[in-house]
Chains A and B, each alone.
Chain A
């Protein structure tokens, strides 16, 4: 099925930042996602659409490690991440937002972003974790699990914050500056010290994006970023998403129900229905695809109006 003319040894510079190959996921008897392929390169702006329950968010969850794929593999910057935990995948450069906003509600806007900015400071610890974390702990004995987690027992990484070392203080200052910068980029500077739960809906969505950017991602996954926004806010968001892609040189994948927005900004769109990919291509191509129209409007529509394309 996947007979794409891609070079077998992927050049490092040209390798996709995010790549899914034949990913399937099954919950009991329900096939939530079947044979899902996707690759995102630097500078890509792709869309993922489909009717409700088509498996879009499931696809996001598989890519970010919330679910483990039953089949197939996911690669982030060329690394197989099937067995990694979400935070490890995030360290590799994949960040996301959530369909139902999941901010740290009681924290201030600034602290929300600061939580994310923290990640880079511990990249060395994270690298170690990757080596250990890739091992399936369940197969090791209890003792081995304890040995493997010795860094946790010794509170590695925490001592400097308890001792307030100069390096730690410098790091905290850097994190604050970074977070403030991101708030500025997302136009939220005026909300700096406000609790996240008190922000208006549109700003909460933007804060989620700011927070995702705090982890310094290479690929950004946006799950319905425009949901609940009015037309004007949507238009602003379109401009903003493009700007983010260019300024932060990201690859972006957007799930969105608003066709105008998706068709307006995405260069390539993947359409899912019942967990299966039914179309992929440029917006015009997808719009006139027979299967897509059928999925959205039903086959009776095609019968009465005559098949398009």
Chain B
């Protein structure tokens, strides 16, 4: 039993320490938080798109569900505190509750969306998830409780790097444990050959929906975290562009590779920042953010084209970094051995 929870017990103090160390660097904290959210999104989407071989392109929709559910709950409970706990701890407890609620609602959405579309084989899921993402955005845009197009502001900024890091750790743990278990093998089997998997006794629909539910849950968590460290959330943060960004991360890292998704998420989070610095060095005038945003999509596109030509299986293919690196560095490996 200890082995099951030990990694979590080890990780907790580490992420808390990390948060304390970076307390004096707000920009680094912000950037790392964004990076963490992107990692959660990419790793969770990889469970569906990579491991199970289904194609979901509505991850931003699930993120939005988590963000708004958690955000609204936190706004409602803003003035409340648990009197028997210090304020900071009480805040974190409420944050955790809000996150979990956002995640669960998102998971239920995933279940409702996935059940009919995953019963079928083929690209239905892509179309349905695309529609789902747009529906969520439009619903949010037209609902007063969610602040319409203006978005929600004033959500308590309680999600520190510690909380984000904790969930990053958790999603990676879940993805890795799943991949190494008999369930994970069944997911791989579905990806490889659905007909054969079904004939070998794998409940393909049930497994696909389960994978989708897990994925949606963590997307909801990512959205909830996002809502608790950015000053304002609005429908513009959860568009199809965001969904595609996550898909690009997964494809870039290699469909099925958890570490690949992590590295791609880090890279694509830092890319706009790098572009921004580049623009500053070049002395570009005007709204920097706008310029970066404009140039980002062509860069993504070029990167994908280059990737498909040079390395169609993505950075690591279906493998993990520790399986691939030794092969890339054969000489060093020999030296060590």
A interface list, Cβ under 8 A from B: 64, 66, 85-88, 90-91, 95-96, 98, 102-107, 111, 114-116, 118-119, 121, 126, 129, 142, 145-146, 149, 151-153, 155, 157-158, 161-166, 168, 171-172, 175, 211-212, 214-215
The size of the chain B interface, using a CB distance under 8 A, is 40
- CB <8 Å contact, A90 and B5: no
- CB <8 Å contact, A152 and B210: yes
Among A66, A85, A106, A175, which residue has its beta carbon within 8 angstroms of that of B188? Answer: A106
- CB <8 Å contact, A115 and B178: no
Query: Which chain B residues lie closer than 8 Å to A165 at the CB level?
Result: 1, 4
Query: Which chain A residues lie closer than 8 Å to B186 at the CB level?
Result: 115, 118
B192 in contact (CB, < 8 A): yes
Contact pattern, B 192-229, Cβ under 8 Å of A = 1, otherwise 0: 11011111111111100110011000000000000000
Among B182, B188, B197, B199, which residue has its beta carbon within 8 angstroms of that of A96? Answer: B199
Among B174, B209, B213, which residue has its beta carbon within 8 angstroms of that of A162? Answer: B174
User: Which of B107-115, B127-135, B160-168, B263-271 sits within the interface?
Assistant: B107-115
In the bound complex, CA of A103 to CA of B196 (Å): 7
In the bound complex, CA of A212 to CA of B197 (Å): 11
Most chain A beta carbons < 10 A, residue from B5, B184, B188: B188
- CB <8 Å contact, B195 and A162: no
Residue in chain B with minimal CB distance to A164: B4
Knowing A166-B1, A172-B182, the reply to whether A103 touches B193 (Cβ < 8 A) is yes
Knowing A105-B192, A115-B189, A166-B1, the reply to whether A152 touches B199 (Cβ < 8 A) is no
The smallest beta-carbon distance between B102 and chain A, in angstroms, is 17
- CB <8 Å contact, A161 and B199: no
In the bound complex, CA of A211 to CA of B193 (Å): 14
- CB <8 Å contact, A153 and B108: yes
The smallest beta-carbon distance between A195 and chain B, in angstroms, is 11
Among B5, B181, B184, B201, which residue has its beta carbon within 8 angstroms of that of A119? Answer: B201
The smallest beta-carbon distance between A154 and chain B, in angstroms, is 9
In the bound complex, CA of A87 to CA of B5 (Å): 33
Pairs A-B, 7 closest by C-beta atoms: A161-B181, A119-B201, A104-B192, A90-B201, A102-B196, A164-B4, A163-B4
- CB <8 Å contact, A102 and B111: no
